[in-house]
Chains A and B, each alone.
Chain A
Amino acid sequence: MTDATQETSGPIVAADGRPLRQSLNRALRRQKIRALLLIAPLLAFIMVSFVIPIGDMLFRSVENQIVPETLPRTTALLGDWDPDLGEPPPEAVFAAFYTDLVLAEERKLHTRLGSRLNYENSGVASLFRATGRDVGRFDTDIYTDQLVAAVPDLEDGAKWAGWMAEPPVRDALPQTADAYDGWAQMVAEVHNADPVTRQPADFVFAALYRDLAAGAAPPPPLDVDVGGFETVSIRDQFAASDPKWLDTGVWRTMRAYAGPLTNGYFLNAVDMMKSADGPRVRPENERIYLTLFLRTMKMSLVITGLCILLGYPVAWILANLPLRSANLLMILVLLPFWTSLLVRTSAWKILLQQQGVINDLLVGIGLVGDGSRLELINNSTGTIIAMTHILLPFMILPLYSVMKTIPPSYLRAAKSLGANDWTAFWRVYFPQSAPGVGAGSILVFILAIGYYITPELVGGTKGVFISNRIAFHISSSLNWGLAAALGTILLVMVLVLYWAYDKLVGIDNVKLGG
């Protein structure tokens, strides 16, 4: 619908006195509703099966809920820690992390979190796994023993529940209340038990000790004087489990990924990483994605160029032959469409390999020595050859349908006006076939840029595309966030190119036929 705004001296009125535009809209509404109903089933199908999953997938490229959800206490405190001092975080952070980790371990969430952080800092996964095993046996039970010795009621889960329900107690002992809530919820959910029947875990007592040591004054009988208590450093407990906890590296990673949304996947996807001073480029030996993006673009351009070179003359012949022979030739062009993509690609494997048909032929006619057979497969040459072949019909078809509409009299007119064959072609025929070249190029380029199966099969390592890397992250490394970020970048690249094409050539100049 066009909504041209017309300037009129006054509103034009329909016969019934209402403004004309309003009457027209009323009249058109029924039509619009009917049109909407007609497309509704398809729209619903597309939404459910396509748009929503893709949107969800794209959201994964920035989603980072797992870190703040699993380590709520740690991430709240880590922001104040300055990693550039080279010191591990203070005891308070370790204490919060201890609470978070025990709860995560009970819920078996710590390994998933470890895997997530492992994408950013390899080694974190095993660190989390190992310390997860140890965290239940930390020496914090000395606090439990000393506190229970001072207040025997602390062994009673029911008493705990009673205290923790009293606001004055909660206000006086914030860490304890927080730790107890986490524990109680965990006991109810993981062990299916009523927390009233259980003595709280050691980390709750540790929290109580911390509150009391910090000078809290809860109502009796909790107002224990902890001045003479034997203490244990939680930081040392972690260090004893694995000395890596004293390095800043793992803490830096946790601090960088503390937020619920992250640009980390995107930075990763362009060979950058988060650091305390903001994003920075990865060291040379860790860069991979920019190279892959560039290679994907470059090879897609080469493939598109080859398709134009090979397809243009074929389309021209097709468009200028009598209908009968043109139809026959067209079948030959379309033949590849009727064969499975996999079969065609596999055929290229046989043709292109070093002991394959093409090399045998070249050696046979003496063009290539037996010792120096050409490497035509498992590199970019293989990808280019196979993909050019596979995508060629997508170039020929739009070219053909555009050329079909160019009457031969234009070329004749150009020649009668004194242009030689080349000038007549270049100045008169080619500009008119350009919309077909444009349509074919967009089609081939966009298909090529996201191609997966052919580069996977014949590309080796030097001839794979970014899509192969995306597939790897989806199915092997399970780093879906990074895969989503790479996919998003690919999508944006295609849209930008499409936009640029529209600006330069004009999308109206793209014709698929007619």
Chain B
Amino acid sequence: MTKADIDAAFVEFERVQKSYDGVTLVVKDLNLSLPKGEFLTMLGPSGSGKTTCLMMLAGFETATHGEIRLAGRPINNIPPHKRGIGMVFQNYALFPHMSVAENLAFPLEVRKLDKAEREAKVMRALDMVQMGKFGGRRPAQLSGGQQQRVALARALVFEPELVLMDEPLGALDKQLREHMQFEIKRIADRLGITVVYVTHDQTEALTMSDRVAVFDDGRIQQLATPDELYERPLNSFVAQFIGENNTLTGVVTEIKGETCNVKLDSGDIIDAKPVNVTKVGDRTKVSIRPERVEFNKARLRPDAHTLKAEVLEFIYMGDIFRTRLRVAGHDDFVVKTRNASDQVRLQPGTTIDIGWMPEDCRALDA
């Protein structure tokens, strides 16, 4: 990390560890730095430590070890109410005994703004989330989506530079969730705020984020932009966690620069790109995306290895076809093909040859 990077970092975690019980570490050696204005998502299965990280940043949990800095200032010992960080909670945490407008005015009141200024800011924030007409309502009188908007407005009304969101869309139905993803992204971009967003929904993470930190087992497994994360996962956890993925296991038999050969447990040889295998004889899990599998021999390289595959199931999904195959003893191998006019519809029971470009098949850790 260069000097300039450190200066530019707005939020930094340095060697942060967290343990609740003194026996196990929930967060193991976390290092993370994000520049101002970035939309960073912490993605991971439950229990991976992502929410703990968010809570440490918000100040509701203290780091057992390490330092957290905000705009270059260590904040470990600053109580949450002095950090000036906006936060949207999973269940919104709108105060039920206050109206929407009172909820929004609350952070301004505790900051001792005068009444006129408060009202102006509340109105502006409500308008921003298209809730201007609902100021007099109680939270219980709003729908889930409306409550979500109010919670967002409340986290933004005091103009924090950093906003944390803890699975804010988890309680909404699919359509509303997708709509709100857009909305949040749009508002964040417009205001230029830095957002740390926690979710376990990978689509959400890919759609909204500038960068995604994939958490597992208390560590960041990969921190990258969405496309890099999807196309170039660094280990088999990330490959499996992000998007749909076919996994085959085997042993590396030959490495030639950017490609290698892997002998699968079934005895078949395939082409792959070595990612974290270093020498012949390493066990590996190879990962291949369903849409990169090719069964049109003409499109493969002449020297490409192919595999026999038996078609088990053909599912018509509108824009794509999803075909389940039995490959090298695995019967959960999935192929996705675009619904084009010239696309072949594979019939269950038939046997075909499949292959792929070596760079699309990543040989990862076992």
| Inter-chain contacts of A418 with B (CB < 8 A) | 81-82, 84, 107, 110-111, 158
Q: In B66-89, which residues have CB < 8 Å from any A CB?
A: 79-87, 89
* Contact flags A410-434 to B (C-beta < 8 A → 1, else 0): 1011111111110110011001100
Residues A412 and B93 in contact, CB atoms below 8 Å apart: yes
Residues A415 and B81 in contact, CB atoms below 8 Å apart: yes
Residues B89 and A412 in contact, CB atoms below 8 Å apart: yes
Q: In B146-191, which residues have CB < 8 Å from any A CB?
A: 154-155, 158, 164
| Inter-chain contacts of B107 with A (CB < 8 A) | 417-419
| Inter-chain contacts of A421 with B (CB < 8 A) | 79, 81
Whether B106 is near chain A, meaning CB under 8 Å from some CB there, is yes
Residues B80 and A416 in contact, CB atoms below 8 Å apart: yes
Residues A423 and B87 in contact, CB atoms below 8 Å apart: no
| Inter-chain contacts of B96 with A (CB < 8 A) | 432
Whether A2 is near chain B, meaning CB under 8 Å from some CB there, is no
Which residue of chain A is the closest to B102 with respect to CB atoms? A427
**A-B CB contacts (within 8 Å), total count:** 68
Residues A407 and B93 in contact, CB atoms below 8 Å apart: yes
Chain A at the B interface: SS class: helix
Whether B237 is near chain A, meaning CB under 8 Å from some CB there, is no
Residues A414 and B106 in contact, CB atoms below 8 Å apart: yes
Whether A476 is near chain B, meaning CB under 8 Å from some CB there, is no
Which residue of chain A is the closest to B94 with respect to CB atoms? A413
* Contact flags A461-501 to B (C-beta < 8 A → 1, else 0): 00000000000000000000000000000000000000000
Residues A410 and B93 in contact, CB atoms below 8 Å apart: yes
- A interface, how many residues as a size bin? 10 to 19
Whether A409 is near chain B, meaning CB under 8 Å from some CB there, is yes
* Contact flags B98-120 to A (C-beta < 8 A → 1, else 0): 00000000110011000000000
Whether B213 is near chain A, meaning CB under 8 Å from some CB there, is no
| Inter-chain contacts of A409 with B (CB < 8 A) | 89-91, 93
Rounded to whole angstroms, the CA-CA distance of A419 and B106 in the bound complex is 8
| Inter-chain contacts of A420 with B (CB < 8 A) | 79, 81, 110
Residues B110 and A419 in contact, CB atoms below 8 Å apart: yes
Residues B84 and A413 in contact, CB atoms below 8 Å apart: no
Residues A416 and B86 in contact, CB atoms below 8 Å apart: yes
Whether B316 is near chain A, meaning CB under 8 Å from some CB there, is no
Residues A427 and B85 in contact, CB atoms below 8 Å apart: no
Which residue of chain B is the closest to A431 with respect to CB atoms? B97
The contact of A415 among B79, B90, B94, by CB within 8 Å, is B79
Which residue of chain B is the closest to A424 with respect to CB atoms? B81
Whether B95 is near chain A, meaning CB under 8 Å from some CB there, is yes
List the interface of chain B (C-beta within 8 A of A): 58-60, 79-87, 89-91, 93-97, 106-107, 110-111, 154-155, 158, 164
Residues B87 and A416 in contact, CB atoms below 8 Å apart: yes
* Other 18 A-B pairs with CB < 8 A, given A417-B86, A417-B106: A407-B91, A409-B89, A409-B90, A409-B91, A412-B80, A413-B93, A413-B94, A416-B58, A416-B87, A416-B164, A417-B110, A417-B154, A417-B158, A423-B110, A424-B81, A431-B97, A432-B96, A432-B97
Rounded to whole angstroms, the CA-CA distance of A410 and B41 in the bound complex is 24
Counting chain A CB atoms within 10 Å of each CB, the highest count among B79, B85, B87, B158 belongs to B87
| Inter-chain contacts of B84 with A (CB < 8 A) | 418
Which residue of chain B is the closest to A420 with respect to CB atoms? B81
How far apart are A430's CB and chain B's nearest CB, in angstroms?
10
Rounded to whole angstroms, the CA-CA distance of A420 and B59 in the bound complex is 13
How far apart are A428's CB and chain B's nearest CB, in angstroms?
5
Rounded to whole angstroms, the CA-CA distance of A421 and B93 in the bound complex is 17
Q: In A375-433, which residues have CB < 8 Å from any B CB?
A: 407, 409-410, 412-421, 423-424, 427-428, 431-432
| Inter-chain contacts of B110 with A (CB < 8 A) | 417-420, 423
| Inter-chain contacts of B158 with A (CB < 8 A) | 417-418
Interface pairs (8), CB distance under 8 Å:
A412-B87, A414-B95, A414-B106, A415-B79, A417-B81, A419-B107, A420-B81, A423-B110
The contact of B80 among A415, A423, A428, by CB within 8 Å, is A415
How far apart are A201's CB and chain B's nearest CB, in angstroms?
81
| Inter-chain contacts of B154 with A (CB < 8 A) | 417
How far apart are A422's CB and chain B's nearest CB, in angstroms?
10
Rounded to whole angstroms, the CA-CA distance of A407 and B93 in the bound complex is 8
Rounded to whole angstroms, the CA-CA distance of A55 and B220 in the bound complex is 75
Report the 6 A-B pairs with minimum CB-CB distance, sorted nearest first.
A413-B93, A417-B107, A416-B87, A409-B93, A415-B80, A431-B97
How far apart are A498's CB and chain B's nearest CB, in angstroms?
23
| Inter-chain contacts of A416 with B (CB < 8 A) | 58-59, 80-81, 83, 85-87, 155, 164
- Asked whether A413 and B81 contact (CB < 8 A) given A418-B111, A432-B96, the answer is no
* Contact flags A308-319 to B (C-beta < 8 A → 1, else 0): 000000000000
How far apart are A404's CB and chain B's nearest CB, in angstroms?
15
How far apart are A321's CB and chain B's nearest CB, in angstroms?
15
How far apart are B194's CB and chain A's nearest CB, in angstroms?
15
Residues B95 and A412 in contact, CB atoms below 8 Å apart: no
Rounded to whole angstroms, the CA-CA distance of A407 and B95 in the bound complex is 11
* Contact flags A422-457 to B (C-beta < 8 A → 1, else 0): 011001100110000000000000000000000000
| Inter-chain contacts of B95 with A (CB < 8 A) | 410, 413-414, 428, 432
Counting chain A CB atoms within 10 Å of each CB, the highest count among B93, B96, B155, B164 belongs to B93
Rounded to whole angstroms, the CA-CA distance of A409 and B93 in the bound complex is 6
Which residue of chain A is the closest to B164 with respect to CB atoms? A416
